[in-house]
A = this chain, B = another copy of it.
């Protein structure tokens, strides 16, 4: 439930990204050949190719047949999934990123909640209550709340009937999940979080756009501030690669 990618592939993806950063390669620059990378990393070429296929799909690199591998975007750019991948690999822990993710989450979730108030169906309410149930149960059992949290927020956005918004939020939630694993250790926070979530559902049920929007904004901002405080206490290892 936690493993992101198979060991060797992720290892090679990581090494490759590190190589790019270490050598300060810019957009359009060429990377070493597959054969050289495989030798340098001590893995077979087939493993390198798997990693490159991933980087290609992420739009980070571009493989030109018979020519070479080129950097399509700087490592800092690229798609959202690429960012999740980097987070999974422990390559991104920039405080700037956490700020930006929080901001983006608020933008998307606030508007999604407004839409949800307008369009939510009974099925959405059912799913939300179910997720809430799981959330409460997880608190009781002392389980991994981060996962339940992701599920709830995605259910929230799903009520907007906009699948693209769900897809947009998914990577943002996955990223912030990592930061919040420590965060959810506090019992007070766990309970407050549950209360917040219940309020969201109530607002959606009542189709109260204004309240829902204000609540989610405050919720995400508060959570982000708490995480930041934790980080400053030295709670999070910063692998600042920029």
Residues of A within 8 A of B (CB): 5-6, 9, 46, 49-51, 53-54, 56-59, 63, 65, 76-85, 96-97, 100-101, 103-104, 107-108, 111-112, 115, 162-168, 170-172
8 A–B contacts from the bound complex (CB under 8 Å): A53-B53, A81-B82, A83-B167, A97-B163, A100-B164, A100-B165, A103-B162, A168-B172
A97–B164 touching, CB < 8 Å: yes
Residues A84 and B79 in contact in the complex (CB < 8 Å), given A65-B6, A107-B165, A162-B100? yes
What are the nearest 5 A-B pairs in CB distance? A81-B81, A100-B164, A50-B53, A79-B81, A54-B57
B51–A49 touching, CB < 8 Å: no
A57–B85 touching, CB < 8 Å: yes
Name the residue of chain B whose CB is nearest to the CB of A3: B62
Residues A103 and B165 in contact in the complex (CB < 8 Å), given A46-B46, A54-B53? yes
Residues A165 and B81 in contact in the complex (CB < 8 Å), given A54-B53, A57-B58? no
Contacts of A170 on B, CB cut-off 8 Å? 77-80
CA separation between A112 and B111, bound complex, in Å?
13
A80–B83 touching, CB < 8 Å: no
Name the residue of chain B whose CB is nearest to the CB of A64: B3
Contacts of A162 on B, CB cut-off 8 Å? 100, 103-104
Contacts of A49 on B, CB cut-off 8 Å? 46, 50
